[in-house]
Chain A
Amino acid sequence: GAVVSQHPSWVICKSGTSVKIECRSLDFQATTMFWYRQFPKQSLMLMATSNEGSKATYEQGVEKDKFLINHASLTLSTLTVTSAHPEDSSFYICSAFGTSETQYFGPGTRLLVL
Protein backbone atom coordinates (compact mmCIF):
# COMPACT_ATOMS: atom_id res chain seq x y z
CA GLY A 1 0.00 0.00 0.00
CA ALA A 2 0.87 3.73 0.10
CA VAL A 3 1.76 4.14 -3.55
CA VAL A 4 2.29 7.61 -4.98
CA SER A 5 2.59 8.24 -8.69
CA GLN A 6 3.83 11.23 -10.65
CA HIS A 7 3.27 12.20 -14.23
CA PRO A 8 5.17 12.88 -16.36
CA SER A 9 8.38 11.19 -15.27
CA TRP A 10 10.42 13.58 -17.39
CA VAL A 11 9.73 16.61 -19.51
CA ILE A 12 11.75 18.86 -21.77
CA CYS A 13 10.30 22.26 -22.61
CA LYS A 14 11.28 25.56 -24.13
CA SER A 15 12.00 28.58 -21.98
CA GLY A 16 8.85 30.58 -21.31
CA THR A 17 6.40 27.71 -21.46
CA SER A 18 4.45 26.25 -18.53
CA VAL A 19 4.68 22.69 -17.32
CA LYS A 20 2.18 20.81 -15.18
CA ILE A 21 3.20 17.90 -12.98
CA GLU A 22 0.61 15.60 -11.41
CA CYS A 23 0.95 13.75 -8.14
CA ARG A 24 -1.53 11.02 -7.22
CA SER A 25 -1.95 8.85 -4.17
CA LEU A 26 -3.15 5.59 -5.69
CA ASP A 27 -4.36 3.55 -2.75
CA PHE A 28 -5.03 6.03 0.00
CA GLN A 29 -6.49 9.46 0.53
CA ALA A 30 -4.07 12.26 1.26
CA THR A 31 -5.34 15.44 2.82
CA THR A 32 -1.82 16.78 2.71
CA MET A 33 0.72 16.50 -0.06
CA PHE A 34 4.16 18.07 -0.26
CA TRP A 35 6.30 19.23 -3.15
CA TYR A 36 10.09 19.00 -3.04
CA ARG A 37 12.86 19.91 -5.43
CA GLN A 38 16.29 18.37 -5.74
CA PHE A 39 19.17 19.95 -7.62
CA PRO A 40 22.10 17.75 -8.70
CA LYS A 41 24.12 16.46 -5.77
CA GLN A 42 21.94 18.40 -3.35
CA SER A 43 19.39 17.35 -0.81
CA LEU A 44 15.64 17.44 -1.25
CA MET A 45 14.26 20.86 -0.40
CA LEU A 46 10.66 21.39 0.64
CA MET A 47 8.92 23.83 -1.68
CA ALA A 48 5.35 23.86 -0.46
CA THR A 49 2.66 22.09 1.51
CA SER A 50 -0.55 21.36 -0.32
CA ASN A 51 -3.79 20.83 1.57
CA GLU A 52 -6.91 19.55 -0.12
CA GLY A 53 -9.40 22.33 -0.67
CA SER A 54 -7.21 25.17 0.52
CA LYS A 55 -4.32 27.29 -0.65
CA ALA A 56 -0.85 25.87 -0.56
CA THR A 57 1.72 27.06 1.96
CA TYR A 58 5.04 27.97 0.40
CA GLU A 59 8.48 27.83 1.97
CA GLN A 60 10.57 30.95 2.19
CA GLY A 61 12.18 31.80 -1.12
CA VAL A 62 9.70 29.84 -3.25
CA GLU A 63 7.65 32.05 -5.55
CA LYS A 64 3.99 31.12 -5.30
CA ASP A 65 3.15 32.81 -8.60
CA LYS A 66 5.78 30.78 -10.38
CA PHE A 67 5.00 27.43 -8.81
CA LEU A 68 1.23 27.08 -8.83
CA ILE A 69 -0.12 24.28 -6.69
CA ASN A 70 -3.63 22.90 -6.81
CA HIS A 71 -4.92 20.15 -4.55
CA ALA A 72 -8.29 19.48 -6.10
CA SER A 73 -9.07 16.16 -4.48
CA LEU A 74 -7.87 13.81 -1.77
CA THR A 75 -5.82 11.88 -4.30
CA LEU A 76 -4.49 14.53 -6.66
CA SER A 77 -2.18 17.53 -6.37
CA THR A 78 -0.67 19.39 -9.31
CA LEU A 79 2.37 21.62 -9.57
CA THR A 80 2.55 24.03 -12.50
CA VAL A 81 5.86 25.65 -13.25
CA THR A 82 4.85 28.83 -15.04
CA SER A 83 7.05 30.57 -17.59
CA ALA A 84 9.79 28.07 -16.99
CA HIS A 85 13.42 29.12 -17.33
CA PRO A 86 16.61 27.05 -17.47
CA GLU A 87 17.27 27.67 -13.77
CA ASP A 88 14.00 25.84 -13.01
CA SER A 89 15.51 22.65 -14.40
CA SER A 90 15.48 20.22 -11.52
CA PHE A 91 14.06 17.01 -10.14
CA TYR A 92 10.61 17.62 -8.65
CA ILE A 93 9.24 15.10 -6.19
CA CYS A 94 5.90 14.98 -4.42
CA SER A 95 4.96 13.13 -1.29
CA ALA A 96 1.67 12.26 0.31
CA PHE A 97 0.85 11.67 3.88
CA GLY A 98 -0.13 8.08 4.48
CA THR A 99 -0.78 6.42 7.78
CA SER A 100 1.60 6.30 10.74
CA GLU A 101 2.85 9.85 10.17
CA THR A 102 4.88 8.66 7.21
CA GLN A 103 5.35 10.51 3.97
CA TYR A 104 5.43 8.36 0.87
CA PHE A 105 7.17 9.77 -2.14
CA GLY A 106 6.40 9.66 -5.81
CA PRO A 107 9.05 8.60 -8.33
CA GLY A 108 9.86 12.20 -9.27
CA THR A 109 9.72 14.30 -12.43
CA ARG A 110 12.86 15.41 -14.21
CA LEU A 111 12.33 18.85 -15.78
CA LEU A 112 14.75 20.25 -18.33
CA VAL A 113 14.12 23.75 -19.62
CA LEU A 114 15.99 24.66 -22.78
Chain B
Amino acid sequence: DQQVKQNSPSLSVQEGRISILNCDYTNSMFDYFLWYKKYPAEGPTFLISISSIKDKNEDGRFTVFLNKSAKHLSLHIVPSQPGDSAVYFCAASVGGADGLTFGKGTHLIIQP
Protein backbone atom coordinates (compact mmCIF):
# COMPACT_ATOMS: atom_id res chain seq x y z
CA ASP B 1 0.00 0.00 0.00
CA GLN B 2 1.54 3.27 -1.11
CA GLN B 3 1.72 5.79 1.68
CA VAL B 4 2.86 8.62 -0.58
CA LYS B 5 1.10 9.02 -3.90
CA GLN B 6 1.85 11.15 -6.90
CA ASN B 7 -1.05 10.45 -9.20
CA SER B 8 0.25 12.30 -12.25
CA PRO B 9 3.04 10.34 -13.94
CA SER B 10 3.75 13.31 -16.18
CA LEU B 11 2.96 16.99 -16.56
CA SER B 12 3.62 19.29 -19.48
CA VAL B 13 3.82 23.05 -18.88
CA GLN B 14 4.72 25.94 -21.12
CA GLU B 15 7.86 27.89 -20.30
CA GLY B 16 7.11 30.90 -18.13
CA ARG B 17 3.90 29.45 -16.73
CA ILE B 18 3.32 27.95 -13.30
CA SER B 19 3.98 24.25 -12.72
CA ILE B 20 1.94 22.61 -9.97
CA LEU B 21 2.91 19.15 -8.81
CA ASN B 22 0.67 17.32 -6.40
CA CYS B 23 1.25 14.72 -3.73
CA ASP B 24 -1.09 12.90 -1.34
CA TYR B 25 -0.21 10.84 1.69
CA THR B 26 -2.10 8.40 3.86
CA ASN B 27 0.08 8.04 6.95
CA SER B 28 -1.03 10.63 9.49
CA MET B 29 2.24 10.13 11.39
CA PHE B 30 4.21 11.87 8.64
CA ASP B 31 5.23 15.30 9.84
CA TYR B 32 8.03 16.29 7.51
CA PHE B 33 7.77 16.54 3.75
CA LEU B 34 10.33 17.14 1.05
CA TRP B 35 10.50 17.60 -2.70
CA TYR B 36 13.39 16.29 -4.73
CA LYS B 37 14.31 16.71 -8.38
CA LYS B 38 15.92 13.81 -10.17
CA TYR B 39 17.54 13.11 -13.52
CA PRO B 40 17.98 9.54 -14.83
CA ALA B 41 20.93 7.66 -13.31
CA GLU B 42 21.56 10.44 -10.80
CA GLY B 43 20.72 10.86 -7.14
CA PRO B 44 17.83 13.12 -6.09
CA THR B 45 18.58 16.80 -5.54
CA PHE B 46 16.87 18.44 -2.60
CA LEU B 47 14.57 21.31 -3.54
CA ILE B 48 12.44 22.34 -0.62
CA SER B 49 10.86 20.95 2.53
CA ILE B 50 8.08 21.72 4.94
CA SER B 51 7.31 20.73 8.47
CA SER B 52 3.77 19.89 9.53
CA ILE B 53 3.67 22.96 11.77
CA LYS B 54 3.62 25.13 8.67
CA ASP B 55 1.30 25.30 5.70
CA LYS B 56 3.60 27.10 3.30
CA ASN B 57 7.30 27.38 2.62
CA GLU B 58 8.87 29.43 -0.12
CA ASP B 59 12.34 29.41 -1.61
CA GLY B 60 12.89 31.45 -4.73
CA ARG B 61 10.77 30.06 -7.56
CA PHE B 62 9.68 27.09 -5.45
CA THR B 63 6.79 27.10 -3.00
CA VAL B 64 5.43 24.10 -1.15
CA PHE B 65 1.92 24.12 0.30
CA LEU B 66 0.74 21.65 2.91
CA ASN B 67 -2.90 20.87 3.67
CA LYS B 68 -2.81 18.53 6.64
CA SER B 69 -6.55 17.99 6.86
CA ALA B 70 -6.58 16.78 3.25
CA LYS B 71 -3.21 15.03 3.60
CA HIS B 72 -2.11 16.84 0.49
CA LEU B 73 0.88 18.87 -0.51
CA SER B 74 1.84 20.61 -3.69
CA LEU B 75 4.94 22.13 -5.22
CA HIS B 76 4.57 25.30 -7.25
CA ILE B 77 7.31 26.39 -9.62
CA VAL B 78 6.95 29.85 -11.07
CA PRO B 79 8.01 30.82 -13.60
CA SER B 80 8.81 27.44 -15.12
CA GLN B 81 12.09 27.20 -16.98
CA PRO B 82 13.42 24.60 -19.47
CA GLY B 83 15.97 23.46 -16.87
CA ASP B 84 13.12 22.45 -14.61
CA SER B 85 12.35 19.47 -16.85
CA ALA B 86 13.03 16.42 -14.68
CA VAL B 87 11.27 13.88 -12.48
CA TYR B 88 10.03 15.34 -9.21
CA PHE B 89 9.63 13.15 -6.17
CA CYS B 90 7.58 13.90 -3.12
CA ALA B 91 8.89 12.32 0.09
CA ALA B 92 7.71 12.13 3.68
CA SER B 93 9.09 11.06 7.03
CA VAL B 94 8.15 10.78 10.66
CA GLY B 95 10.06 13.16 12.84
CA GLY B 96 12.38 14.42 10.13
CA ALA B 97 15.18 12.07 11.12
CA ASP B 98 13.84 8.84 9.67
CA GLY B 99 14.21 7.25 6.29
CA LEU B 100 12.03 8.75 3.61
CA THR B 101 8.98 7.29 1.94
CA PHE B 102 8.85 8.39 -1.67
CA GLY B 103 6.08 8.79 -4.19
CA LYS B 104 6.51 7.37 -7.67
CA GLY B 105 7.44 10.70 -9.15
CA THR B 106 6.03 13.09 -11.72
CA HIS B 107 7.89 13.75 -14.94
CA LEU B 108 7.70 17.49 -15.56
CA ILE B 109 8.25 18.64 -19.12
CA ILE B 110 8.69 22.34 -19.76
CA GLN B 111 7.87 23.24 -23.34
CA PRO B 112 9.43 26.30 -25.00
Q: Which residues of A contact B (CB under 8 A)?
A: 4, 6, 32, 34, 36, 42-46, 49, 59, 91, 93, 95, 97, 100-108, 110
Contacts and interface: CB of A to CB of B under 8 A. Distances in A.
A34 B102 CA distance: 13
Contact of B104 (A4, A42, A46): A42
Candidate in A43, A101, A102 with the most chain B CB atoms within 10 angstroms: A43
Interface residues of B, number: 22
B36 A43 contact: no
B46 A104 contact: yes
B44 A44 contact: yes
A12 B44 CA distance: 23
Interface string B37-52: 0000111111001010
Q: 4 smallest A-B Cβ distances: which pairs?
A: A101-B96, A105-B43, A46-B99, A43-B102
B105 A43 contact: yes
B30 interface: no
A110 B102 CA distance: 19
Interface in B57-112: 89, 96-105
A22 to B, nearest CB: 14
Contacts of A32: 97
B82 to A, nearest CB: 22
Given A36-B100, A91-B41, A103-B46, 20 more contacts: A4-B43, A32-B97, A34-B100, A36-B99, A42-B104, A43-B102, A43-B104, A44-B44, A44-B100, A44-B102, A45-B102, A49-B99, A93-B43, A93-B44, A95-B43, A105-B36, A105-B44, A105-B46, A108-B42, A110-B41
